[in-house]
Structures are given as C-alpha cells and as structure tokens.
Chains A and B, each alone.
Chain A
C-alpha cells in the first residue's frame, strides 16, 4: 500500500495541474455564479386593489422574507411585463384574496407562492383579530408578533417551503460536482495499471490485492476530500461566506459523500472495459447526477415527479440535503443522519459490486 501511495503522490507532484485546475475552476464557478445569484433578486410587479395602508402591511410582510424585489405598478404594466417576459411573475392583491400571474412555471413562482401565502396569512390573521376585538386587538397583534415563546419548525425535506441561499447553493453544488472528476480520474489508475500490465506485476509481488485497492482508493478519497475542504475553506475564510455556524459539520457531512463517489467510480471502472469507456462515462454520469441531484439549482424547485424519483438514487441529492441541513437549517449532525446513512449504504453497495465486476473481468 505504501508503494501505491508513493507512486500516486509522485505522479501528483509531477503533474499537479489537473488537481489545481479542477479546484480552481470549482472556486471560480462557485464564486461567480454564487455572487451573481446572491445579488440578483427576481423582480415581481404588484398591482393592489387594497387600501394603501393594507397594501403596505402585506408588502412589509413580503419584504421580511426577502429573496424577491417587489414594486407596485399599474395593472396594465404588470400584465405587459409578465407577457413580455421582463417579469417572471406578477401579483394581484385584493381585500380577501390574491392572484399570481405567470407566463411559465419557474422557481420564482414557487418562491413567490410560498412568500405570499405566509404574508397574506399573516395579514388576514391580524385583520380578523382587529375586527373580533377592537379593544384588545392591538395588544393581541403585539403578542402575536412578540410571543412569550415560539415553536419553530425548520425542514430540509419539506415540499412546502425551503430556504434558498444562493452563495451556499453554488459553493456546495460546484464542490460536489467537480470533486466527481477529481476522484474518478484517480480511481482510473486501477484501469490504467491493469491495461499497462503494472497490476499484473503487483499481483505477482508479495503485496496483497486488497492493499492495491485500498492504496489507490484511499488516495482518490483523500485527494477528493482535500479538494472540497480547500473550496469550502476558501469561501469560509478568504471570502467570509456565512456557513450558519455549520462549517465543521459541513466538512464532516462531505466524508460519506466523497466515499460514495469513490465507490461510484469503482463501479464505473468495473463496468468499463477500457479507460476510454471510463472517460466517456464519467462526464455523462457527473453532469446528470449534478443536474438531477440539485447541484446546479435547488432540487426544491424541481416539479417533475420523474426527475424527483431519479434524484433518490443520486448521491448528490443526499449530500446537498445534508449540507443544507447542517448549515442553512442549523441542524446538528444527527439531523442529517438520514442522508448520511443513505450515502454510506450507497458506498458499500457500489464498492462491493464494482470490485466484484473488476475482479471478474480480470
């Protein structure tokens, strides 16, 4: 095993470009896409038939939830902007209900629907309380806004609501996406060694076969893990990105994911007869997994049942869930045990099948 690690490290020192470029590209993508999404707030034109004071009440509730930029406009302007695509959605406010106008169903619609539901609910609740008891209404509203204690439920599996942090979405998404390449292009050393006859030489040595597998896979694991740690640390310490006090837990959550990707690469190596096949499969798998698993965009905005079903067999889905749980949703590690367990299970199954396939072929 020492020999394998020695050779792999020497090869890395001799040609560190691939690792550095992959890490650099990951940071650049996360930086630019995260920053641009961070400052971008989708524009929502609002036309209101409510009283000015009441409109302001609803608007103030909406603005509390952030993420979208609201502006009061005339009815014709709203309709024109939605029709022409300059706004993804528009909102009509009435005394007893609201209406959303959209040209197509996008993530903006989902987010707007969630926010207006909460804002309008809040507004109606206040209104009813005022009407029910004119004397104590104001006090009741005050108590409602400042309760003695609050019971808050946060979820990262929920279908009803989600919290979106564009910076973390980009950092997590690109880190877990690019690390697939780094790991796969190190696991491929098994296939290269087999093709070039080095593996046979090792078999004939006193080293055991499991030592060879462990050597190469440990190396792939550590290199992949170091890459994600570098990316996360860069954003946390160099750019001061808020990890919601979950930075340490986020690094822990990455361990089962990196392991799952090592196993996935072993499985693909087991299926591939040659390095050429392996090199052809990896980009297809990594891009599809990233898309399906919510690496590029939050999985919460995906509405297709088929895509959601597919995401259940994708390790990216579970690592994104777990990362969001321990950061955005402020969960402890135990709160992310479900996705972590799935990742561990995936690692065991894929590793077992992959090594079996490779051994059968040889």
Chain B
C-alpha cells in the first residue's frame, strides 16, 4: 500500500532522517518506535506529503507521493502530535469545520460527525467548547478529526502523549477497533514500548534518523533469542557485586536502575546459581531474581545501549 525508499531529510548540518526504508500493507497496524528526537515525526511529515524529503521517495498505491500528493491526501488521515483543533469551538463545530475543509457533502457530513463522535466517545460532550475538555478528550477529538473523511490509511503521531491511563486505554482500544472493524491501515508512532507491543503487527525501531530494526514483534524479540534476561532486586546495590557480575564472561550486558540489576546472559548458561554465589560472596541481600523473556525495551537497549526514554 505504502512504500518508503531511502528517505532523507537534512536541515543545514543536521540529518533528521537518514535513509529510512519501510513499507505498510493494507490492513496492518505498523509501529514506528523510537525515543524523542529519533526522527519519527519528520518521517511521518514526509510520508504524508507535508514536507518534501531531501532525498528518496514515498509511493502510495504505486504512485509517487512527492510528485502526486493528492491521491494519498484523499485517503489519508493524520493525527498530529499537537492538539490541532480550534479550542474556542465545540467538538461538533470542529468536526464540521474539518468536514467542510474535506469538501464533504453537507447531508453526509452530519451523519458522519455523529458516527465519529460515537467512535471517540464524545457524543455527550459534542456541544461543549474544546477548551473545557480534559487532555484525553482533546486527544480523542484530535483522532476523530482524522477519521471524518473515512481514510483507508491513518498516521498517528504519538496520539497518547500526556494523558491519563484511562484515556490512553480508550484510545488504544479505539485504534484496535478501527483496524479490526474497518480494516483501517495504521502507522502508529510512539516512544511507549507497551503501546506498540499491544497494538502493532510489525514494528520499525528508529534511532537518530535511522531504522535500526524492523519486523514482527517476535522477529524483533528474536534478536535477543540467544539470550535470557535476569532481573535481580536487591536491598542495596553494592558496587562490588555489580563489578563481579560485569567481569563474569557470560554477562553480555548489565544495567542498574535504583535497586534493580538487569543482566543479559546467553540462553544456554545456567546463571541462577552464579548470582546466588556472587551475592553471598559480596554480602548482597537479594530480594528476588527473575528470569524474563526479552521485551522490546531490552531489544532497544541491546541495539543502542540506551533506554528508550533516556
């Protein structure tokens, strides 16, 4: 459905996006995961024809979006990261405004607005001014605007930033429902690992303008298939204990967060006993030791050496 080839964007000396390749098939939810400043929003802006790339091409249904943006724009809904709404208009008036911008038929528009309000759960609040809405309600309306013209492809740029967990769950469920019931194709960017894990069929991990990993959730986690993760909780993390762990030939990676030490160790190594021994040796009081399956967070850490929200 959509194919991105060697996309680059350079601002003077800064390479915001450097050679991104990706594709999206009809009916997929694809995640674009990366920390703040990774280049996700710039990539989405280029893909949606909002800004021209310095190099590369974006093809929608085999036609270049750079040369012919209109075809994509008719089928595309974009949920921007910021709340792009008129705060002094009501929810319904905002939808009416964007409906007119999309040149929708007047009769059709009324029914469509009712439908969208239903989807985003704002029927009761449709005549309230947007400025009186909570952050979550604004975010939902922000999504609603993008759904008004029945797009077959939707780009969502961090649509859950800064909202409460309840609203967040509502949005995530709405995205799932849209994909399931309307076969909507969705590109979802986020720096929340759990959102992408919950929603997406395939994932692209982006860092510093590059795609550093891609594939299905399992494909990506298999990057760490040869390893196992140990999460050790201690009463006090002693430097002596972590130094011994670091020096151990089986430990591939070690991170310390407050009282928790996380280790990556080859799968074939039986390491549980070693941890107990080293703790005893250094008089470290262990609270718990867990063997975990690798998460996307672990993959990101493994690939970049940094946590996703650093």
Inter-subunit contact B73/A197 (CB<8 Å): no
The answer to whether the Cβ of B198 comes within 8 Å of any Cβ in the partner chain is no
Binding site for A on B (CB under 8 A): 48-50, 70, 73-74, 76, 78, 80, 82-86, 88-89, 93, 96-103, 129, 145, 149
Whether a CB of chain B sits under 8 angstroms from the CB of A148 is no
Contact (Cβ within 8 A) A204 B103: no
Task: Give bound CA distance, A169 to B73, whole Å.
Answer: 53
CA gap between A6 and B88 in the complex, in Å: 13
A262 shortest CB reach to chain B, Å? 21
- Chain B contacts of A10 at CB under 8 A? 89, 93, 97
Question: In the complex, which of the residues B73, B83, B97 contacts A7, with contact meaning CB atoms closer than 8 Å?
Answer: B97
The answer to whether A202 has its CB under 8 Å from any CB of chain B is yes
Within 8 Å by CB of B100, from A6, A15, A200, lies A6
Determine the chain A residues whose CB is within 8 A of the CB of B97 once the complex forms: 3, 6-7, 10
A14–B98 CA distance with the chains assembled, in angstroms? 18
Chain A residues within 8 Å of B99, by CB: 3
Q: Are B101 and A197 in contact (CB under 8 A)?
A: no
Across the interface, A14 reaches (CB within 8 A) one of B80, B89, B101, namely B89
A198 within 8 A of B: yes
A205 touches B101 (CB 8 A): yes
Establish whether residues A206 and B74, one from each chain, have CB atoms under 8 Å apart when the complex forms.
yes
Q: Digit string of A278-311 for contact with B (CB within 8 Å is 1, else 0)?
A: 0000000000000000000000000000000000
Q: Which residues of B contact A196 (CB under 8 A)?
A: 82-85
By beta carbon, the residue of chain B nearest A215 is: B101
Closest to A205 in B: B101
B88/A11 in contact, CB under 8 A:
yes
Distance (Å) between the CB of A189 and the closest chain B CB? 10
Q: Please pick, from A7, A11, A15, A201, the residue contacting B84 in the complex, using a CB distance under 8 A.
A: A201
B147 to chain A, nearest CB (A): 13
Min CB–CB distance B74 → chain A (angstroms):
6
- Chain B residue numbers with a CB within 8 Å of A14 are 88-89, 129
Q: Distance in Å from the Cβ of A198 to the closest Cβ of chain B?
A: 5
Q: Name the distance in Å between B92's Cβ and chain A's nearest Cβ.
A: 11
Number of A-B contacts (CB under 8 A): 67
Asked if B96 and A198 sit within 8 Å, CB to CB, the answer is: no
State which of A7, A201, A203 has its C-beta within 8 Å of the C-beta of B89.
Answer: A7
A201:B78 contact, CB within 8 angstroms: yes
- Chain A 1-39, CB-CB to B under 8 Å as 1, else 0, gives 011101100110011000000000000000000000000
Interface size class of A (residues with CB under 8 A): 20 to 34
By beta carbon, the residue of chain A nearest B72 is A204
Question: Which residues of B are found within 8 Å of A201, using beta-carbon distances?
Answer: 78, 80, 84, 98, 101, 145
A207 touches B50 (CB 8 A): no
Q: Are A205 and B89 in contact (CB-based, < 8 A)?
A: no
- A6-B96, A7-B97 known; A198+B84 contact, CB < 8 A: yes
**Of A4, A6, A204, which is within 8 A of B50 by CB?**
A204
Which of B48, B84, B100, B102 has a CB less than 8 Å from the CB of A197?
Answer: B84
Q: Which residues of A contact B84 (CB under 8 A)?
A: 196-198, 200-201
- Which of B49, B80, B149 has the most chain A CB atoms inside 10 A of its CB? B80
Inside 8 A of A203's CB, which chain B residues have their CB?
Answer: 50
CA distance A5 to B102 in the complex (A): 14
* B73 and chain A: residue at smallest CB distance: A204
Determine how close the nearest CB of chain B comes to the CB of A341; give it in whole angstroms: 37
Q: In chain A, what residue has the closest Cβ to B157?
A: A197
A-B contact pairs, 6 of them (CB 8 A): A3-B99, A11-B89, A198-B84, A205-B102, A205-B149, A207-B101
Closest residue of chain A to B97, judged by CB?
A7
Top 10 A-B pairs, shortest CB-CB distance: A3-B100, A197-B84, A3-B101, A197-B82, A7-B97, A205-B101, A197-B80, A198-B84, A205-B102, A207-B101
Least CB distance from A165 to B in Å reads 42
Residue-wise, chain A 317-336 has the 8 Å CB interface mask toward B (1 for contact) of 00000000000000000000
A3 to B99, CA, bound (A): 8
List of B residues within 8 angstroms of A198 by Cβ: 84-86
For A200, list chain B residues within 8 Å (CB).
50, 78, 80, 84
Please indicate the chain A residues that have their CB under 8 angstroms from the CB of B85 in the complex: 196, 198
Q: A3 with B98: in contact, given A197-B80, A197-B84, A206-B73 (CB under 8 Å)? A: yes
CB neighbours (8 Å) of A207 from chain B are 101-103
Closest residue of chain B to A202, judged by CB? B101
Q: Which residue of B lies closest to A198 (CB)?
A: B84
Task: Name which residue of chain A comes closest to B106, CB basis.
Answer: A2
Report whether B78 and A206 are in contact in the complex, using a CB–CB cutoff of 8 Å.
no
* C-alpha gap A7/B76 in the complex (Å): 23
**Closest B residue to A195 using CB positions:** B82
Q: A7-B97, A201-B80, A206-B73 are in contact. List 16 more A-B contacts (CB 8 A).
A: A4-B101, A6-B97, A11-B88, A14-B89, A196-B84, A200-B50, A201-B98, A202-B101, A204-B49, A204-B50, A204-B78, A205-B73, A205-B149, A206-B70, A206-B74, A207-B103
